Amino acid sequence: MLEKDNDLAFKHDSTPRNIPLSDHGLQPRQFSQAALSIVEKLQSLGYEACIVGGCIRDLLLGRTPKDFDVATNATPEQIKDAFGNARLIGRRFRLAHVRFGREVIEVATYRGESPSDAANPSDGTSAVRELDGGRLVRDNVYGTESEDAIRRDFTINALMYDPSTETLKDHVGGYEDLKTRTLRLIGDPETRYREDPVRLLRAVRFMTKLELSPDKATEAPIRPMAPLLQDIPPARLFDEILKLFLSGHAWSTYQALVAFDLWEQLFPNLLQDPSAPPMIVKQGLKNTDARVAADQPVTPGFLFAVFLWHRVETRAEALSGKGLPPVNALGQAGDEILYEQAQTVAIHRRFSSMAREIWCMQPRFLKQSQRRGERMIQERRFRAAYDFLLLRALEEPALQPVADWWTELQKTAPPPAPSRPHSGPKRRRPRRRRRRNDARAQAR
């Protein structure tokens, strides 16, 4: 059912504004060769096809796109016929992954979308959501090029590039918005946020990461509508959290989330005063950004360890008071707090175990014996737990000498042994690997 106040978003088949190469300046070599070849092949078979979405936005902003997506009027089956190696994914809205050399390009059929369909995000992965009144979202329907542009979230994300004419097609004014660095939802903002509240988080992410100013109507509903995030499945929120905090702008994103009352929806009652976060959180986020900038690996396990630490510590102190040894108290407190947090944001097991291991190593740092220390350095989580200790020392000056002792020890101790995946007769690795494959096969 179309919303009355959302006319703009659902007037289909608008004629796009065509922006020629002389204006947009994007050169074919800036695009992924794989995406260009896929579009060319689809067009040669008589289909419409274009490169679309975030990659065009990023190129126009002078950034390197993470990935290149293709949209077409060919159905998933027709895409599969065109590309022998295409793999169809997604249960409700199917799209194709087409492998081209080492790249995998997502090829999606144009979608027409009513407000009730939009709860299923464009990537077709998840988020089947029950809307108000218990109405289930309808299955997605295929659409035209302009419908596909209009159902996207922000105007800057709806630009389409046709390599055969080297033209950009703009159905929603995204090109002008990019020039003026404006973030604007397509259609009526309240309706679009209500359709899919994850757009509230996406708005903050794009504002911060791309340094865009939100248009007033796009910004105004964010704070009052923040509680709508409570309807979003924890697994989908986890995916968004990775994008929010591991893309190199964690600290500014954190501040924006707090300012828009969104942080509290993701991590309810976690920090006493989120607008003045503990040092471990502030510096933990800044260190994450520095690592991303230096191309070093970052893991959500460490970040969750940082976010939840003070809650875990308080709970562990209570348990220690009842006689539990410190490591056990931290383990049990960690389990409880992780369980509580998982009610809002699902945390994959490998990340929750990492957080737990980091916490449980903390009391062991207090025992400074050379022999024991050298063994500890060999442990898998040592480095992460040590980095965590350095952060704690910023808040607890008494820990600084402890941290220094471990810093010195690492200079003299033998370096950690490289992992030996195939040594020893009792290795369980092959079994684990088999189980993972099974899980993947079931998910298909």
Footprint of ligand ATP (CB under 6 A) = 53-54, 66, 69, 121-123, 152-153, 157-158, 196, 198-199, 243
Partner interacting with residue 381 (select from ligand ATP, Mg ion, none; CB below 5-8 Å by kind): none
Decide: 195 and 13 in contact? Cβ < 8 Å.
no
Q: Which is nearer to Mg ion, 202 or 291 (CB)?
A: 202
Which listed residue (69, 170, 177, 188) is catalytic? 69
What separation, in Å, do the N-terminal and C-terminal C-alpha atoms of the chain show? Answer: 32
CA–CA separation, 151 and 153 (whole Å): 7
Our finding on whether 124 is near Mg ion (CB under 5 A) is: no
Distance of closest approach, residue 114 Cβ to ligand ATP, in angstroms = 13
Q: Which is nearer to Mg ion, 116 or 247 (CB)?
A: 247
Enumerate residues 6+ apart whose C-beta is below 8 A from 348.
238, 300
Enumerate residues 6+ apart whose C-beta is below 8 A from 197.
225, 228, 229, 231, 232
Partner interacting with residue 199 (select from ligand ATP, Mg ion, none; CB below 5-8 Å by kind): ligand ATP
Stretch near Mg ion under the rule CB under 5 A, chosen from 31-39, 48-56, 300-308, 420-428: 48-56
Distance of closest approach, residue 137 Cβ to ligand ATP, in angstroms = 13
Q: Which residue is nearest to ligand ATP (CB)?
A: 54
Q: Identify whether 69 is a catalytic site residue.
A: yes
314 in helix, strand or coil? Answer: helix
Identify the H or E element spanning 386.
helix 382-395
Partner interacting with residue 152 (select from Mg ion, ligand ATP, none; CB below 5-8 Å by kind): ligand ATP
Torsion, Cα of 360, 366, 367, 369 (10° steps): 120
CA–CA separation, 302 and 246 (whole Å): 11
Backbone angles phi, psi at 325, to 5 degrees: -60, 150
Distance of closest approach, residue 106 Cβ to Mg ion, in angstroms = 9
Q: How far is CA 177 from CA 57, 174, 357, in A?
A: 10, 5, 46
Partner interacting with residue 239 (select from ligand ATP, Mg ion, none; CB below 5-8 Å by kind): none
Q: Which is nearer to ligand ATP, 67 or 313 (CB)?
A: 67
Q: Which is nearer to ligand ATP, 52 or 376 (CB)?
A: 52
Radius of gyration of the chain (CA): 25
Distance of closest approach, residue 319 Cβ to ligand ATP, in angstroms = 40
Stretch near Mg ion under the rule CB under 5 A, chosen from 53-61, 276-284, 292-300, 368-376: 53-61
CA–CA separation, 152 and 186 (whole Å): 7
Which listed residue (58, 117, 148, 153) is catalytic? 153
CA–CA separation, 127 and 111 (whole Å): 17
Structure tokens at 151: 């159902």
Partner interacting with residue 196 (select from Mg ion, ligand ATP, none; CB below 5-8 Å by kind): ligand ATP
Distance of closest approach, residue 432 Cβ to ligand ATP, in angstroms = 30
Helical segments of 102-261, H only: 145-150, 174-179, 189-195, 198-210, 216-219, 222-225, 234-245, 250-259
Enumerate residues 6+ apart whose C-beta is below 8 A from 62.
none
Q: Which is nearer to ligand ATP, 69 or 357 (CB)?
A: 69
Distance of closest approach, residue 241 Cβ to ligand ATP, in angstroms = 13
Q: HSE of 310 in the Cβ direction (CA atoms, 13 Å)?
A: 16
The burial class, CB within 10 Å (0-12 / 13-18 / 19+), for 16 is middle
Q: Which is nearer to ligand ATP, 54 or 214 (CB)?
A: 54
Q: Which is nearer to ligand ATP, 192 or 392 (CB)?
A: 192
Distance of closest approach, residue 85 Cβ to Mg ion, in angstroms = 21
Residue in 73, 55, 72 with CA at minimum distance from that of residue 64: 55
Q: Which is nearer to ligand ATP, 123 or 387 (CB)?
A: 123
Our finding on whether 54 is near Mg ion (CB under 5 A) is: yes
Decide: 199 and 192 in contact? Cβ < 8 Å.
yes
Distance of closest approach, residue 209 Cβ to Mg ion, in angstroms = 12
Residue numbers annotated as active site: 67, 69, 153
State the residues that interact with Mg ion by CB under 5 A: 54
